[in-house]
Amino acid sequence: MRTCSKLISILVLSVGPVSLWAQEDTSDRTRVVSDNLAAALADTMPKYNPPPPKPKKTEEELAYGKPKNGIVRLPQVVVEGRRPPIFSERQVNTDKGLQQIAVKRYFSGAAQALNKKHIPIIGQSNEAVAMQMWEEDERLRLITEFNDRADTLEALGDEEKSDEAREMIQDLTARQSYLPAPSALHRDTKGN
């Protein structure tokens, strides 16, 4: 047993310096892999072939519609056709969304908080009153817009069309007996 341990210790001592000499110095190494492995990998990779240089353009090619800074200019195009429609709030939103927009537009935060609950038999909800106010504002906006058009027709000298436009405006935007009148709240908020 003793001879065995002596033999092993001699063997380890004799092999130790040899294994240290066989290792290469890694203190100055900048790669993660060894030089041999890097060389083997480099041999398997395809060789780099640089792309051929771009042919230089002649002065005629440079002068032909292209600036020297390389920005490509497209030919001018005239687009003929209809413009896309411009949607109003009424066309884009649902009925519930319109009611929410109207309440935010016509009632302050305090008015909304005070009128959260309503009794259907006694009065109208915030949404219903706000929608009536919205409809009245839309009616007044349309009257103003069409009156401006009629004024333009009159200024251009076409009084017959101007009178027809004013009559049409009156017929289309006059309140009917079956439609609700604007609420008193609306007149108070507008200062009339």
Judge whether residue 165 has pLDDT over 70. yes
Average of per-residue pLDDT values in the chain: 77
Whether 75 is in a domain gets the answer no
- The amino acid at residue 152 is T
Angle 124-98-173 from CA coordinates, rounded to 5°: 80
Percent over 70 (pLDDT), the chain: 71
The answer to whether position 165 is within a domain reads: yes
Mean pLDDT of 171-175: 76
Which one has a higher pLDDT value, 155 or 2?
155
Work out the number of other CB atoms within 10 angstroms of the CB of residue 118: 14
Q: Is residue 44 part of a domain?
A: no
Q: What residue type is 104 in one-letter code?
A: K
Q: What angle do CA 162, 168, 172 make, to 5 degrees?
A: 145
State the Cα–Cα distance between residues 148 and 144, nearest whole angstrom: 6
Which pLDDT value is given to residue 67?
Answer: 65
Instruction: Note the pLDDT of residue 192.
Output: 42
Give the pLDDT score at 191: 46
Question: What tens digit of pLDDT does each residue of 45-91 get?
Answer: 888 888 898 888 777 766 666 666 777 778 888 888 888 888 888 88
Count, residues in the chain: 192
Whether 184 is covered by a domain: the verdict is yes
Confidence class for position 23, pLDDT limits 50, 70, 90: low
Is residue 156 in some structural domain? yes
The total domain count for the chain is: 1
* Residue 123 belongs to a domain: yes
Q: Is residue 133 included in any domain, yes or no? A: yes
Tell me, what's the pLDDT at 73? 75
Evaluate whether residue 17 is within a structural domain. Answer: no
Per the structure, the complete domain to which residue 182 belongs is given by 89-190
